[in-house]
């Protein structure tokens, strides 16, 4: 029998991480499968064959997408060539919906297509539901409400829980890690998580840094850690924090250790909000796009909150500072109010604990891998469904 061959397509660092965890579980269940991908460092570490690296594919906003259209067209051409020459038998799309949904449409059901990490059609651009229903063979979701949402449209989605429950674990003890960073265990530690894309960091980190300066003026026994994305060069961070009136540690590749030592966090909207929730750390959500991108994007959003934790709880438990509200003075006032109130911190932690239970049970990635393999190869038949 011919070797089983799967193509995985992702375009963001968070998708690359989830895809790598999925690949590990797939290979545990069936070590003979050959996997190729559009991916990054995490997938590369699984010995997956990388066709194209994601470092230049990530987009933020409409105009960023326009600039990269030639790259996406070239990627499509390459993938169709690889599908033909390497006899790939199935495609797993991981997030990256702008590209992946168009690619699935062009495949036109010539191969089985599985979507892992659902496009957030429940939040914006619900017209994409039609494409999903017509061109996606199976969809795997991380949140129960997503399964219920798709059911309303007659789409069968498999809920597996959130994979972060298995991966969000520090590797160092708090005291040990603070010592390694040459930081005090007796000061209040605040972690800054400004995102994983260059454009996010350019827009959000300066706001976080200015907020940190205002907090430090009020609470002198405070120290700060910036969590660096491996996908972004250190020079961008250094440029933003140069000439600061205080020291800020920049730490790469140890997000969960940084959150473990933190008493509080300033977090860009995205995957990091869930990671911070799982670590049970009080935080605020900050996000800012360029004005033109915001004006284009905002009318499409149909949900009351931007933070997934607030959407899960169906109420505002974590303060959100979005676009015009992302003002350092306003953010600092809120953070200081929380830090000075043990009752408020206890209340937030209690809400975070409740919200964490909505993420399902550990073992999500294994469940997803089994669903995928059963669907694709359960009867030893490969080809389009139906």
21: exposed, middle or buried (C-beta count within 10 Å: 0-12, 13-18, 19+)?
A: buried
Stated pTM of the model:
0.84
Does domain 171-357 sit in CATH 3.40.50.2000?
Answer: yes
Q: What is d(CA 265, CA 263) in angstroms, rounded to the nearest whole number? A: 7
Cα 290 versus chain centre, distance: 20
pLDDT recorded at residue 111: 95
pLDDT, averaged in runs of 10, over the chain (386 residues) = 88 90 96 94 92 78 66 92 95 92 94 92 81 95 93 93 94 95 96 90 95 96 94 90 89 94 96 95 90 56 77 91 93 97 96 93 96 84 38
> Where exactly does CATH 3.40.50.2000 map onto the chain?
5-163+363-377, 171-357
Query: How far is 359 from 112, CA to CA, in rounded Å?
Result: 28
Parallel, antiparallel, or unpaired: how do β-strands 222-228 and 248-252 relate?
parallel
Strand, helix or coil for residue 191: strand
Fold of 5-163+363-377: Rossmann fold (3.40.50)
Which pLDDT score, from 0 to 100, does residue 320 have?
Answer: 96
State how far the Cα of 277 lies from the Cα of 270, in Å rounded to an integer. Answer: 12
State residue 232's pLDDT score: 86
Q: What is the pLDDT of residue 302?
A: 65
Alpha helices, DSSP H, located in 242-287: 255-261, 271-278
Looking at residue 59, its pLDDT comes to 60
Classify 58 as helix, strand or coil. Answer: coil
Q: Please state, in angstroms and rounded to a whole number, the distance separating the CA atoms of residues 234 and 249.
A: 12
The CA-CA-CA angle for residues 279, 283, 284, to 5°, reads 145
4 and 33 Cβ atoms separated by less than 8 Å: yes
Q: What residue has token string 């590797």?
A: 171
Q: Is the distance from CB of 7 to CB of 90 less than 8 angstroms?
A: yes
The pLDDT assigned to 384 comes to 38
Q: d(Cα 161, Cα 365) in Å, to the nearest integer?
A: 8
Name every residue whose Cβ is closer than 8 Å to that of residue 348 and which is 6 or more positions away in sequence. 282, 317, 318, 338
Beta bridge partners of 345: none
3 state SS of 386: coil
Q: What is the DSSP string of 298-324?
A: GGGB-SS-SSHHHHHHTS--S-EEEGG
Helices (H), 69-223: 69-85, 97-107, 128-135, 144-152, 164-167, 174-180, 198-218
């Amino acid at each position: 029998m011919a070797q089983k061959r799967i193509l995985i397509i992702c375009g963001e660092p968070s998708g690359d991480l989830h895809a790598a965890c999925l690949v590990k579980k797939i290979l545990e269940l069936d070590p003979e499968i050959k996997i190729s991908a559009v991916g990054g460092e995490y997938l590369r570490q699984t010995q997956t064959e990388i066709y194209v690296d994601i470092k230049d594919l990530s987009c933020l906003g409409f105009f960023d997408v326009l600039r990269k259209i030639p790259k996406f067209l070239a990627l499509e051409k390459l993938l169709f060539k690889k599908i033909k020459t390497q006899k790939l038998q199935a495609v797993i799309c991981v997030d990256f919906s702008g590209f992946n949904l168009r690619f699935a449409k062009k495949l036109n059901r010539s191969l089985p297509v599985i979507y892992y990490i659902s496009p957030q059609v429940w939040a914006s651009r619900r017209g994409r539901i039609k494409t999903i229903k017509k061109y996606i063979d199976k969809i795997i979701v991380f949140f129960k409400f997503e399964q219920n949402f798709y059911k309303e449209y007659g789409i069968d989605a498999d809920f597996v829980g959130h994979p972060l429950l298995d991966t969000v674990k520090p590797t160092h003890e708090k005291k040990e890690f603070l010592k390694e960073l040459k930081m005090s265990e007796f000061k209040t530690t605040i972690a800054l998580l400004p995102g994983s894309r260059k454009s996010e960091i350019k827009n959000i980190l300066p706001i976080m840094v200015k907020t940190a300066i205002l907090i430090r003026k009020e609470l002198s026994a405070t120290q700060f850690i910036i969590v660096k994305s491996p996908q972004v060069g250190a020079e961008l961070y250094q440029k933003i924090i140069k000439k600061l009136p205080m020291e800020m540690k920049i730490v790469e590749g140890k997000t969960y250790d940084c959150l473990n030592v933190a008493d509080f966090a300033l977090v860009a909207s995205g995957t990091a909000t869930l990671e911070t929730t799982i670590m049970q750390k009080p935080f605020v959500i900050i996000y800012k796009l360029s004005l033109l991108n915001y004006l284009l994007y905002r009318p499409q959003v149909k949900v009351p909150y931007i933070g997934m934790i607030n959407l899960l709880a169906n109420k505002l438990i974590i303060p959100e500072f979005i676009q015009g509200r992302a003002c350092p003075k306003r953010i600092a006032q809120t953070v200081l109010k929380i830090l000075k109130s043990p009752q408020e911190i206890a209340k937030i932690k209690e809400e975070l604990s409740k919200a964490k239970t909505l993420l399902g049970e550990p073992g999500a990635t294994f469940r997803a891998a089994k669903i995928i393999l059963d669907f694709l190869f359960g009867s030893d038949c490969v080809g389009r469904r139906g």
